Amino acid sequence: MAEPQRKKWSENYPRWFDWVIGEAEVYDYGRYPVKGMGVWMPYGFQLRKKIIGLMREILDRLGHEEVLFPLLIPEDLLRRESEHVKGFEAEVYWVTHGGRRPLDVKLALRPTSETSITYMETFWIKSYKQLPKKYYQVVSIFRYETKATRPMIRLREVTTFKEAHTVHSNFEDAERQVLEAVEAYKEFFDRLAIPYVISRRPEWDKFAGALYTIAFDTVMPDGRKLQIGTVHNLGQNFTKAFDFRIQLADESLDHPWQTSYGISDRVVATVISLHGDDRGLVLPPNVAPIQVVIVPIPAKDEEDMKLVKELVEQVRRALETAGIRVKVDEREEMRPGAKFYYWELRGVPVRIEIGAKEAREGVLTIHRRDTLEKRTIPAENVVVEVRRLFDEIYQNLYERAWKYLRERIKRTADLEEAKEWVENRRGVVEVPWCGREECALKLEEELGAEAMGTPWPFEKAEGEVCPVCGRKAITWMRYSKSY
């Protein structure tokens, strides 16, 4: 299979990304006069909507209920759980005035919603019989990020924040929920053909207020890691802080257990980054706003042109009836070549060209965006052929992306090798670890990389020693340059 040129994409990925989101009219970033805030443009909005739709479908199927909480959180609620507020304090935007008048109680723009949701749960949930309870919402959150902001990747207004919040009567059920959430995210990323590594974040890098954090990371085309989703076991930290108690089966009262898990605009950035190429976006068919574009090739002969129009209409109707998102590009002032370029840039998975020759013979020229291959098919088979192509495109994107990720993970006890790996932005390195924080922090410095955490599920490092202190290694610690 011919691999399309991905040269510029891989050689200067950050610039490619900035170029493609603007050029393909996905996201306008850097012009809106507030730092860290971008604008979803119509085409990007449709892509985002399809991706969130996939997430909603999965969560709904697993029994989550969608809710919508206020954006503002009173200061005292946000401060209730001490670790949580310590973690977020430096990132909170505050609303201090109503018109000209100073507010009695400062209001935070939510940086996340554990506190506001737990507060309301205390009114709603009284008994173990109501549990487990699974809520989620898709909202904007605000974080005054101080690291370099990046379009979709590090925003100050995260506009596509899907946060799920669950409640359980005991620890075991919260643990079961963590597993369910991890499976849900695996399905979500698998369906987007996004590869991932799952790590348990080190103690010092867990979500503020959690017992522990499980993270999904991927490696971007420049070899830097990006966290694309997180699942937290919150234990009883928030329910204790809010004195949220429920009646248990034995009639006693106790604080319930919680989990939360979230994804963001970063998922859209990842779909764009991992599948794209020099020509622009390459979208997985299931989330492409337009799945098939039909480009009529003008014919000189009037009779031919009539045949072309008829076949175009017939094919459009057949695809539409089959539930496929199809668009006919009828613009008269534009040449076919310019249309090809236009839709390739926008990542439309399949293009159908219909000219006089095709119309006379009752065939179609069908072109796939991912490999740029062309074929001729009988017009009456169009629905079956397009569906088959969708499957093949998805398979190809999935395999290509996973191959890329696997090649970027290296396991070694040799620090020189480890250093070379992360320095040259090759990806993630796994080094034997004794379990002590000071060794991991020392290696972070030595490697100039961030400790991402240990493999999840847990993996023993059999017969290995910690290269920092020489003690017996218990597992592997992952390091990478990170966004």
Residues in contact with ligand A5A by CB under 6 A are 112, 114, 143, 145, 154-155, 158, 163, 207, 227-230, 232, 260-266
* Nearer of residues 23 and 459 to Zn ion, judged by Cβ: 459
Q: Strand 101-109 and strand 72-74: pairing?
A: antiparallel
Neighbours of 249 (CB within 10 A): 10
The nearer residue to ligand A5A, 165 or 339, going by C-beta atoms, is: 165
Question: Residue 434: which of Zn ion, ligand A5A, none does it interact with, CB under 5 to 8 A by kind?
Answer: Zn ion
Residue 450's SS3 state is strand
Contact partner at residue 229 from Zn ion, ligand A5A, none, CB < 5 to 8 Å by partner kind:
ligand A5A
Does position 401 interact with Zn ion (CB under 5 A)? The reply is no
Residue 377 found at the interface with Zn ion (CB under 5 A): no
Q: Decide which of ligand A5A, Zn ion, none touches 464; Cβ closer than 5 to 8 Å per partner kind.
A: none
Site for Zn ion contains 469 (CB under 5 A): yes
Burial class (CB within 10 angstroms; exposed 0-12, middle 13-18, buried 19+) of 323: exposed
Residue nearest to ligand A5A (CB): 262
* Residue 146 beta carbon to ligand A5A: minimum distance, rounded to whole angstroms: 11
Q: Which is nearer to Zn ion, 214 or 477 (CB)?
A: 477
Q: Which does 261 bind (CB under 5 to 8 A by kind): Zn ion, ligand A5A, none?
A: ligand A5A
Least separation, in Å, of the C-beta of 427 and Zn ion?
A: 23
Nearest Cα neighbor of 137 from 52, 185, 66 is 66
Q: What's the rounded Cα separation, in Å, for the pair 171 and 174? A: 5
d(CA 344, CA 279): 6
Tokens of 322: 């089959």
Give which of 428, 481, 392, 475 is closest to 195, Cα–Cα: 428
**CA of 72: how far to CAs of 106, 109, 238, in Å?**
9, 5, 18
Selected binder of Zn ion within 77, 468, 475, 479 (CB under 5 A): 468
Measured from the CB atom, the residue of 165 and 367 that comes closer to ligand A5A is: 165
Tokens of 250: 């034995």
Rounded distance between C-alpha atoms, residue 82 and residue 399, angstroms: 44
> Between 385 and 450, whose beta carbon lies closer to ligand A5A?
450
Six-digit token string for 2: 């011919």
* 473 lies in the site for Zn ion, by CB under 5 A: no
467 binds, among ligand A5A, Zn ion, none (CB under 5 to 8 A by kind): none
Give the interface segment with Zn ion, choosing from 210-218, 219-227, 328-336, 436-444 (CB under 5 A). 436-444
- Which neighbouring-strand residues pair with 94? 108
Does 466 help bind Zn ion (rule: CB under 5 A)? yes
The number of C-alpha atoms within 13 Å of 159 and in the hemisphere containing its C-beta is 15
Regarding 246 and contact with Zn ion (CB under 5 A), the answer is: no
How far is the C-alpha of 37 from the C-alpha of 31, rounded, in Å?
Answer: 9
Residue 465 touches Zn ion, criterion: CB under 5 A: no
Contact footprint for Zn ion (CB under 5 A): 434, 436, 439, 466, 468-469
